[in-house]
Structure 1
Amino acid sequence: MKKMLHCIVLTCLCMNGFSQDPATLQDKHRPQFHFSPRAHWMNDPNGLVYNNGVWHLFFQYFPGKSVWGPMHWGHATSTDLVNWQEQDIALYPDKLGWIFSGSAVMDFQNTSGLGLNGKPPMVAIFTHHNDSLEKLKQNNHQYQSLAYSN
């Protein structure tokens, strides 16, 4: 059953290219087969989460330019894994650093204790990257962080 679900999800992800906005299909440098944001730098996917009929895709994103820079987590949603709606940025860099790779899950049993009023939280664990400390050759420029939404 698990293998069948993975095959279905993979097939749906592969079909994403057929639902792109016609204007973006004309851009020879834009991925035609996978999700991509309307503009700017996109990097690693960092969590595909399903909740209440909606898939949530998180990805590294730099909204300022089309080159690598201070990473955020972008967010897109879909009900069919083919047609995607770009959402507001999910995680922004802060005083702890840029937002690097990680993953997200729905804590349906509220094992984290972060849920409120019976509503399960979405929990993300990711790497904070402090560029200033890295430039100073510090060993502690990356560390794990947790964010949640309920």
Structure 2
Amino acid sequence: MRELAIVKELKGDVVLLEKARTEACSTCGSRSSCSISSSDKKITIRALHNGVEVNPGDTVEIEMSNMSATRVSMIVYGIPLAVFLVTLIVMNMVLKSEGLALVVAFASIAVVYALIALYDRKNREKLMPKIVRKVELPDGFIVR
């Protein structure tokens, strides 16, 4: 998905961009009841330079990763919950102690989140938005 954003700050290979949430939320089913999409609140996005020369105040087109919110939610919430429940049930049957099984299940969540953090560090650049090009807008045009 490609969107427009405004360059706010340059930090090495990373560029801080600002954009309104209205474009990103246009297909969301909850947009009518969401306070972010109904207001003019802006969000800050970290994007990779990708070899495009930009300065603060420039309007750029960015390409967002194709990873869906459902997939991200499954990785962050679903997998740890499944591991917790399976570990709790198996350890309760093996150890015959609910308290000890609970401790082991919580420890398994810590291990899963550590693995997710390693996955995130390894794949962060692939998942970060990238600047595609600098966009010249007509006078009076406002990026929303």
Tell me, yes or no, whether TM beats 0.5: no
- Choose 1 or 2 for highest CA Rg: 2
The TM-score, its normalising length taken from structure 1, stands at: 0.24
The structure where strand makes up a greater share of residues is: 1
The structure where helix makes up a greater share of residues is: 2
